[in-house]
């Protein structure tokens, strides 16, 4: 019967009548309809029409909507961890299969079970007359699909849920259906977009139908704006733009997903910037099953290999995953105990009578069981063992040469505007409390710690907004009220509001606070570069220009105007009162939210205002400062969290300040 179905599909590749089908297949008409039914169950779209008292059949190709419906996930105690990737573009000479395999390896090490792929699985077909035809090493759709099926990584315990994208379109073949039918570890969710549930939250996967724009945040904001209120998902993950950014817009957590392919000839022709990497998302749900917060980890790849496509066997033999082999039945813990940190490798081999090959086997068994033992050369030039002395979670995140990887944990706040009646001091206390719980010792402040004072000719409504007006009023209140936590140092720059005190009377509030509080360090006005471990460069900036509708526009322009040797590894921009992340010219750039509710000035100007701070964990190479991984966790506060701190909530704030004064030893 399979042979008959195959012949049926061949015959219907062009219009053919029912009579002809009955003759060729030696079937009654009912049998022909039965074959049509089976073909459609197999994912093919068989059209038919009445022509001159006969019926013609025509195979339109594989059904474009052959997908898994109603996919939903339940979080583990309110947490759901997954990886999101996009655009491997298999079949293109710029494909990076080595990077893709490394990404899946990291997903397995992190205990991730679900990977979401946001389309553009294959490179697609270019016509022979197209100048881009030679940019593919596999020039037809069939060979690209076969290569994807046989070579795309398959890790035990990981399921990949995917949509197809613009590059995956074909008039006769459903790329998604073909791949899902051949790979039991891959689930096809739909063509170009799909919705699924995590607890009670709706997540939308989207492969952008629109071309990439110069301004990075333009498309994400455009897509966020397109939803009616009742149709908004809780989170939107966009593939196909080959960029990485994060924005909370209209209450939607939006992420652009980077590519897993090098810069293709088509990208070069269109002058598209291409960011390579993956995202790990840790989604926390509240008691109602709605998204409470999303912590994201960026896995950037700064260099690609133009010859990577040559390094992998181009045969279509089914990919066999070596990790499916079971760990040998040996006592790995016993071997691990034998190995002492700093112990000579040669002495170890002699003491335990093991050969070089057996030693390699011992190290492999240890590593398979999560104990990553290295061999390094010590200061005396001897080869010795290096056992990890940090937590296993960190070990799992570290690549080769892990002895050079260091970790920095810190928080960043900005625009507290203390002195303005809209400042949210209680939320700032909450942020510092959380920092203390995390063991953080350094918090960086991006400026405008005070609200300053503009005279009535500058801003006519300003005096009404500032219960504390003079330098003495604001300075003394900040001295007493700014959160103090034992062991935490606040490193701050001043901003344009702080500068008004200097204009009005020559007073620098940054210098004054540093001299008055032992836990505050003043770094300068409007900008500072902090060297963590002398190599990791963190930049703080407090611009003086206005905000733009497109979130990324201002910071994108500023970073693109920087000379190559002057860029920091991480740049945090205050002043705009928004939260946004993008990777621009290999710089991890953030816009910082404020710790004040919308001021009268912002309401008059119709500006968006975000309240909150940012926690960062940075894994960096201590030799050059390159960021290997970056965990970003914004801590944002909603309107329901706002207090009227100089009105009905004044007494609650006073109690918080009094408690802070006692910590500082003040009356």
Stretch 193-212: mean pLDDT: 94
- Do 86 and 184 lie in one domain? The reply is yes
Range of the domain at 130: 72-311
Q: For residue 398, is it within any domain?
A: no
Given this model, what pLDDT does residue 613 score? Answer: 96
Query: Does 556 share its domain with 633?
Result: yes
pLDDT score, position 239: 96
| Domain assignment present for 300 | yes
Q: What is the pLDDT of residue 348?
A: 85
Mean pLDDT of 466-471: 83
For residue range 89-122, list pLDDT tens digits in order.
999 999 999 999 999 999 999 999 999 999 999 9
- One domain, residues 114 and 136: yes
Q: Does 154 or 601 have the greater pLDDT score? A: 154
Residue 321 lies in a domain: no
Instruction: Report how far residue 40's alpha carbon sits from residue 558's, in angstroms, rounded to the nearest whole number.
Output: 55
How far is Cα 133 from Cα 52, in angstroms, rounded to an integer?
A: 43
Helix crossing, 425-437 with 650-664: angle to 10°? Answer: 40
Q: Are residues 228 and 159 in the same domain?
A: yes
Same domain, 555 and 439: yes
Residue 282: pLDDT band by 50, 70, 90 thresholds? very high
58 shares its domain with 76: no
Q: Are residues 476 and 542 in the same domain?
A: yes
My answer on whether 152 and 54 are in the same domain is: no
134 and 33 in a single domain? The answer is no
Among the ranges given (21-35, 615-629, 637-651), the one the predictor scored with the smallest mean pLDDT: 21-35
**Where is pLDDT greater, at 401 or 530?**
530
Any domain includes 325: no
Q: Domain for residue 600, yes or no?
A: yes
Query: How many CA atoms lie within 13 Å of 12's alpha carbon, on the beta-carbon side?
Result: 32
Q: Is residue 401 part of a domain?
A: no
Answer yes or no: do 12 and 92 share one domain.
no
Examine the pLDDT at 390 and tell me if it is beyond 50. Answer: no
pLDDT digits (tens, 9 = 90+) for 43-82: 777 776 665 566 788 787 765 555 566 788 998 889 999 9
Residue 245 in this model has a pLDDT that exceeds 90: yes
pLDDT at residue 16 in the model = 86
DSSP string, 484-542: --TT-EEEEEE-HHHHHHHHHHS--HHHHHHHH-TTEEEEEESEEEEEETTTEEEEEE-
With respect to residue 473, please indicate whether it lies within any of the assigned structural domains. yes
Inside any domain, residue 397 = no
Q: Which of 311, 340, 370 is the last residue of a domain?
A: 311
Percent of the chain residues past pLDDT 70, beyond the cut: 88
- Tell me how far CA of residue 534 lies from CA of 351, 546, 571, in angstroms: 41, 33, 16
Residue 540: pLDDT above 60?
Answer: yes
For residues 240 and 288, membership in a common domain is answered with yes
Q: What is the pLDDT of residue 398?
A: 44
What is the number of structural domains in the chain?
A: 4
CA dist 432 and 488 (Å) reads 9
């Amino acid at each position: 019967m399979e042979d008959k179905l195959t012949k049926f599909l061949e015959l219907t590749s062009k219009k053919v009548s029912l009579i002809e089908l009955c003759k060729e297949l030696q079937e009654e008409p009912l049998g022909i309809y039965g074959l049509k039914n089976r073909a459609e169950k197999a994912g093919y779209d068989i059209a038919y029409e009445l022509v001159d008292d006969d019926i013609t059949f025509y195979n339109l190709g594989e059904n474009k909507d052959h997908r898994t419906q109603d996919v939903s996930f339940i979080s583990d105690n309110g947490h759901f961890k997954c990886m999101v990737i996009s655009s491997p573009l298999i079949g293109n000479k710029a494909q990076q299969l080595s990077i893709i395999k490394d990404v899946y390896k990291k997903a397995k090490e992190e205990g991730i079970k679900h990977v979401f792929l946001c389309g553009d699985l294959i490179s697609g077909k270019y016509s022979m007359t197209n100048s881009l035809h030679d940019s593919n090493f596999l020039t037809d759709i069939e060979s690209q699909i076969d290569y994807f099926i046989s070579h795309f990584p398959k890790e035990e315990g990981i399921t990949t849920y995917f949509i197809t994208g613009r590059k995956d379109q074909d008039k006769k073949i459903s790329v998604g259906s073909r791949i899902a039918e051949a790979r039991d570890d891959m689930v096809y969710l739909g063509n170009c977009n799909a919705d699924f549930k995590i607890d009670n939250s709706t997540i939308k996967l989207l492969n952008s139908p629109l071309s990439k724009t110069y301004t990075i945040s333009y498309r994400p904001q455009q897509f966020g704006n397109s939803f009616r209120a009742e149709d908004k998902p809780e989170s939107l993950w966009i593939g196909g733009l080959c960029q990485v950014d994060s924005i909370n817009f209209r209450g939607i957590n939006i992420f652009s997903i980077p590519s897993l392919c090098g810069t293709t000839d088509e990208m070069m022709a269109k002058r598209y910037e291409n960011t390579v990497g993956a995202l790990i998302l840790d989604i926390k749900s509240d008691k109602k099953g709605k998204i409470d917060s999303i912590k994201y980890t960026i896995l950037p790849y700064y260099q690609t290999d133009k010859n990577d496509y040559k390094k992998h066997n181009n045969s279509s033999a089914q990919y066999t995953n070596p990790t499916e082999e079971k760990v040998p039945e040996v006592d790995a813990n016993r071997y691990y105990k034998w190995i002492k940190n700093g112990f000579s490798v040669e002495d170890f081999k002699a003491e335990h009578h093991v050969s070089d090959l057996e030693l390699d086997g011992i190290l492999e068994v240890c590593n398979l069981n999560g104990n990553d033992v290295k061999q390094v050369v010590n200061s005396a030039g001897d080869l010795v063992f290096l056992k990890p002395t940090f937590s296993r979670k960190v070990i799992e995140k570290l690549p080769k040469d892990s002895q050079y990887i260091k970790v920095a944990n810190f928080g960043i706040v900005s625009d507290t505007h203390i002195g303005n009646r809209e400042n949210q001091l209680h939320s700032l206390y909450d942020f510092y409390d959380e920092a203390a719980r995390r063991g953080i010792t350094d918090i960086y402040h991006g400026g405008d710690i005070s609200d300053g004072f503009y005279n009535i000719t500058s801003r006519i409504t300003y005096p009404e907004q500032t219960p504390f007006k003079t330098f003495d009023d604001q300075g003394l209140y900040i001295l007493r009220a700014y959160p103090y936590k034992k062991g935490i140092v606040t490193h701050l720059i001043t901003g344009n509001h702080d500068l008004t005190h200097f204009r009005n009377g020559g007073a620098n509030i940054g210098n004054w606070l540093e001299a008055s509080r032992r836990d505050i360090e003043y770094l300068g006005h409007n900008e500072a570069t902090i060297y963590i471990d002398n190599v990791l460069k963190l930049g703080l900036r407090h611009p003086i220009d206005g905000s733009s509708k497109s979130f990324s526009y201002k910071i994108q322009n500023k970073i693109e105007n920087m000379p190559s040797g002057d860029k920091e590894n991480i740049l945090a921009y205050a002043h705009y009162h928004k939260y946004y992340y993008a990777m621009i010219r290999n710089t991890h750039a953030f816009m910082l939210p404020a710790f004040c509710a919308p001021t009268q000035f912002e309401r008059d100007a119709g500006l968006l205002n975000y309240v909150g701070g940012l926690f960062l964990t940075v894994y960096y190479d201590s030799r050059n400062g390159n960021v290997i991984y970056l965990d970003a966790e914004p801590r944002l506060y909603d309107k329901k969290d706002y207090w009227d701190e100089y009105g009905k909530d004044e007494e609650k704030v006073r109690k918080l300040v009094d408690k802070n004064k006692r910590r500082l030893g003040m009356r």
